[in-house]
């Protein structure tokens, strides 16, 4: 639920001397061989000159944090990724048949995804963590050699830092819902999971 280039997701798909080098981390994702990405952080994937009007869940205009003209979204498309960008992408994501694609890049928001309580009450077009987990499993389960899926409810930590118990509770419940999706997959494949 964080930016994809945030510390935990980045550690699984990039190599960099600093967690703060998020533009470089986004570039590393292109050579990571990871088949499924979903979360926030469009700002590190679009060129400096690109502006996406009302592209964010909270109606914000999305501007790049890059200092160059690299369009990583286009590069992902060229590598065969199905892309879901901004709120239009979020709407498409919710209705997409993920059994039809082998690679996915989904970036829904400028920075982190909204806290779950905000997503439920105001930004329902943003997929839940459980919906993203389900889509990830659909994409990855086709691999005959098996797969590894990392799911992080990173906004739990953010809410805790902000002394926001309601945020912590709702994001923890959302994470539990995502674990249930993964557990349901396990129940169907107990010998392989």
Q: How do residues 18-63 score in pLDDT, each as one tens digit?
A: 999 999 999 999 999 999 999 999 999 999 988 887 677 666 778 8
Q: Are strands 62-63 and 51-52 parallel, antiparallel or unpaired?
A: antiparallel
- Residue at token pair 């990405």: 37
pLDDT tens-digit profile of 90-115?
A: 999 999 999 999 999 999 999 999 99
Contact 40, 127 (CB under 8 A): no
pLDDT at residue 193, rounded to an integer:
83
Q: Does an H or E element contain 118, and which? A: helix 116-121
Q: Does an H or E element contain 75, and which? A: helix 72-78
pTM of the predicted model, to two decimals? Answer: 0.94
d(CA 55, CA 51): 9
49-54 LR contacts (CB < 8 Å, sep 24+) = 52/85, 52/86, 54/87
What percentage of the chain carries pLDDT values higher than 70? 98
């Amino acid at each position: 639920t964080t930016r994809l280039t945030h510390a935990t997701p980045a550690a699984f798909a990039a190599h960099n001397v600093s967690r703060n080098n998020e533009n470089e981390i986004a570039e590393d994702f292109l050579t990571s061989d990871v088949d499924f990405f979903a979360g926030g952080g469009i700002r590190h994937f679009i060129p400096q000159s690109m502006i996406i009007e009302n592209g964010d869940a909270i109606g914000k205009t999305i501007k790049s944090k890059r200092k160059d003209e690299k369009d990583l979204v286009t590069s992902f498309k060229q590598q065969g990724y199905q892309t879901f960008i901004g709120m239009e992408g979020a709407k498409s994501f919710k209705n997409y048949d993920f059994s039809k694609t082998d690679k996915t890049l989904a970036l829904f928001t400028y920075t982190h995804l909204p806290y779950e309580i905000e997503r439920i009450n105001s930004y329902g077009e943003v997929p839940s963590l459980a919906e993203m987990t389900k889509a990830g499993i659909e994409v990855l389960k086709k691999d005959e050699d098996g797969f590894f899926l990392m799911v992080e409810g990173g906004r739990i930590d953010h809410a805790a830092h902000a002394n926001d118990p309601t945020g912590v509770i709702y994001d923890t419940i959302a994470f539990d819902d995502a674990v249930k999706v993964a557990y349901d997959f396990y129940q169907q494949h107990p010998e392989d999971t």
